[in-house]
Amino acid sequence: MPDSFPENSVGLVETQLYQFKEPIELSCGRTLRDYHLIVETYGELNEKKSNAVLICHALSGNHHAAGYHSPSDIKAGWWDDYIGPGKPIDTNHFFVVSLNNLGGCHGSTGPRSVNPATSKAWGKDFPPLRVRDWVSSQARLADELGIDQWAAVIGGSLGGMTAMRWAIEHPQRVRHCVVIASAMKLTAQNIAFNEIARRAISSDAQFFDGDFLEKGTIPKNGLALARMIGHITYLSGELMGLRFGRELRSGSFQRGLEAPVEFQVESYLRHQGDRFAESFDANTYLLMTKVLDYFDLAREHNDDPVQAFAHAQCKFLVMSFSSDWRFAPLRSREIVDALIAANRDVVYTEVQSNMGHDAFLLPNERYEQIFRTYMNNVAREMVNGEERD
Amino acid sequence: MLRIDLDILQQWVPLSSRVLDLGCGDGTLLKSLEENRHTEGYGLEIDPEQITACIARGVNVIEKNINEGLENFQNKSFDTVLMTYSMQVLHRPDLVVDEMLRVGKECIVTFPNFGNIRTRIYLMVRGRMPVTKQLSHQWYDTPNIHFCTVKDFEALCGEKGIKILHRETVTGHRPDRQLSRFWPNMFAETAIYHLSK
């Protein structure tokens, strides 16, 4: 029963599939003849169509950001703490659009989709993508929905990169850009972690050089391992210590007992890895990590982020988290410095949290307060008719 | 900040200029400059509640500890760098003033004058660290770690070759007003300086 959901939840949500019949030319030079995007929306689009907010997901995210898919669903969407009536992204004010990116594996065209040229799944042959391809595919979605200008484009991590690209590529179509726990480009250490994850997948015997779908199998071990590595980097050492410590799930160190010892943290990671391996596509994981690695905000702007941001016209909210070492606060400060040098409006906050990179997904009083206060202003502008032309 | 301080320093901020406010508090000054002088700019602040207040006002606030320096700002990238009532909480006010003059073409600094006669009498008569309406903390919990007098500050400017473009003094005590003009170190409660290098 929908009324059994929490009061501040968007409740039961339905997915919608948008078909795009026009070919889309990708950054790699190849063209997708047609594609589809799986989308969820929350809240109502106003008459002027000025209250739309785009949510850009991170590496392993999807379109299901808020609400529930069925009355018996116990797990809400991945950003349900931040999207809903009365929440920072308040669906009483905003029409929220959330989609699975092109190349994803949750219903949008990606490696698991059928390649019209071969009538078989794309698999490893799916074209490599860049963040700008996501932006151009999302721009067509905006056209389809009749949205000329987003009130805000919002994203964390890889989603933050997407939001920044939006601001630069379509300055007229973005009023506010919210960049959370992100960076203008990855560091060597960050790329290194992604490469270990890719190697874990590609060295799984079940990977079959990317043709595992055809062989009717899944490189579960590789995917699980990739996720385990990633997961460690998304948490902080402090949090792992607090949450798991050296607690044992089974076995003991007592003399004479031979039951094997298993730490809580081992069991947790194994569970995370296995669950991920069951739902995520290995080729999508390879594709998404490469999109992350290749992203460089300023590459086409003489490697000068100030020049890049000079193209933007929107206002920015940038947020980072103190214990995030995968997308450290310093990376966010670099974004802010470039925005200031480019004379753009920007608010920057560094939120205290011991949750690591994952903090952007988790409840945090100060983070919520900042986010809510900023978004309230965005909503107030709409009411006062201060939207830019 | 008092209304009168605000009125005094606003006149030194060029119209439609770019400003940076160190320790911008709840953003009142930046908002007022934006409305009255059509400025654009940013405020730096570390207090979470003040930061939220800035966001609510629509002020560009950057969470940053000024004690860490301003190395992320380019030379002369602002017309005016302001610091009102924050100098006394810094670890090294002298270095921050250097940085302000590097980043800004001009600077405006305001601080409580510890040479004020009431402070002197308080210490002399009571023999204890002055606690006044303006400086309401006890010695052990005060964030104000670097008090100075008008004379101290001008000595620092002299050593560093900083030009004092304007100086104004403010006091809440009516009889002191005339006096503070002639004898600022004794009668000013707040000193307001307009500086350049």
Distance from C-alpha of A340 to C-alpha of A337, rounded to nearest angstrom: 5
Closest-CA residue to A100 (of A143, A54, A64): A64
Chain mean pLDDT for chain B: 94
The pLDDT assigned to B180 comes to 87
Task: Indicate the residue of A347, A366, A370 with minimum beta-carbon distance to B60.
Answer: A347
Residue B58 sits in which domain range?
3-114+145-196
Per-residue model confidence as pLDDT tens digits over A323-382: 999 999 999 999 999 999 999 999 999 999 999 999 999 999 999 999 999 999 999 998
Give the H or E element holding residue B10: helix B3-10
For B71, the closest chain A residue by CA position comes to A337
CA atoms B93, B96, B102, B105: torsion sign: negative
Which residues of A participate in catalysis according to the annotation? 157, 324, 357
Query: What is the four-CA torsion angle of A246, A249, A254, A260, rounded to 10 degrees?
Result: -110
Q: Coil, strand or helix: which one is A132?
A: helix
The pLDDT assigned to B1 comes to 54
Closest-CA residue to A202 (of A279, A321, A290): A290
Per-residue model confidence as pLDDT tens digits over B79-123: 999 999 999 999 999 999 999 999 999 999 999 999 999 999 999
Distance from C-alpha of B38 to C-alpha of B95, rounded to nearest angstrom: 30
Closest-CA residue to A326 (of A360, A297, A296, A299): A360
Distance from C-alpha of B195 to C-alpha of B197, rounded to nearest angstrom: 7
User: Is B88 a domain residue?
Assistant: yes
How many residues make up chain A in this entry?
389
For B74, the closest chain A residue by CA position comes to A341
Amino acid occupying residue B20: L
Q: Which residues of B touch A332 (CB under 8 A)?
A: none
User: Is B130 a domain residue?
Assistant: no
Asked if B40 lies within 8 A of A343 by C-beta distance, the reply is yes
On whether the CB atoms of residues A356 and A326 are closer than 8 A, the answer is yes
| Alpha helix positions (H), chain A | 131-145, 158-169, 188-202, 220-234, 237-243, 264-279, 282-294, 305-310, 329-341, 365-383
> Which residues of B lie closer than 8 Å to A, measured between beta carbons?
18, 40, 42, 48, 51-52, 54-56, 58, 60-64, 72-74, 77
Asked if B60 lies within 8 A of A374 by C-beta distance, the reply is no
Residue A61: what are its φ and ψ, rounded to 5°? -80, -175
Residue B56: both structure tokens together: 């609510």
Residues near A10 by Cβ (< 8 Å), separated by ≥ 6? A42, A43, A66, A67, A80, A83, A84, A85, A91
Per-residue model confidence as pLDDT tens digits over B42-73: 999 999 999 999 999 999 999 999 999 999 99
Neighbours of B78 (CB within 10 A): 24
The pLDDT assigned to B132 comes to 81
What is the location of CATH 1.10.1740.110 in chain A?
A: 193-289
Query: What ipTM score was computed for the predicted complex, to two decimals?
Result: 0.94
The pLDDT assigned to A386 comes to 62
Count up the domains in chain B and report the number.
1
Q: In chain B, what percentage of residues exceed pLDDT 70?
A: 98
Name the fold adopted by A193-289.
Answer: Rna Polymerase Sigma Factor; Chain: A (1.10.1740)
Distance from C-alpha of B91 to C-alpha of B93, rounded to nearest angstrom: 6
Distance from C-alpha of A176 to C-alpha of A150, rounded to nearest angstrom: 8
Share in percent of chain A as helix, strand, coil (round to 5): 40, 20, 40
Amino acid occupying residue A317: L
Q: Which residues of A touch B42 (CB under 8 A)?
A: 340, 346
| DSSP bridge partners of A77 | none
The pLDDT assigned to A388 comes to 58
Asked if B62 lies within 8 A of A343 by C-beta distance, the reply is no
Low-confidence ranges of chain A (pLDDT < 70): 1-3, 386-389
Asked if A374 lies within 8 A of B55 by C-beta distance, the reply is yes
Q: Which residues of B touch A341 (CB under 8 A)?
A: 74, 77
The pLDDT assigned to A1 comes to 45
Neighbours of B14 (CB within 10 A): 14
Give the H or E element holding residue A83: strand A83-84
- Residue in A340, A346, A371 to test binding to B, most B beta-carbons within 10 Å: A340
Distance from C-alpha of B29 to C-alpha of B84, rounded to nearest angstrom: 9
Residue B49 sits in a domain of what CATH number? 3.40.50.150
CA distance to partner chain A, nearest, from residue B42 (Å): 8
Residue A64: what are its φ and ψ, rounded to 5°? -90, 80
Amino acid occupying residue A195: E
User: Is B120 a domain residue?
Assistant: no
Place of tokens 């920044």: A164
Closest-CA residue to B68 (of B37, B91, B35): B91
The pLDDT assigned to A249 comes to 92
Give the largest Cα separation in chain A, rounded. Answer: 77
Homologous superfamily of A2-185+295-383: Alpha/Beta hydrolase fold, catalytic domain (3.40.50.1820)
HSE at residue A230, side-chain half, CA atoms within 13 A, is 26
User: Is B124 a domain residue?
Assistant: no
Helix axes A282-294, A220-234, angle to 10 degrees: 40
Residue A60: both structure tokens together: 């392993």
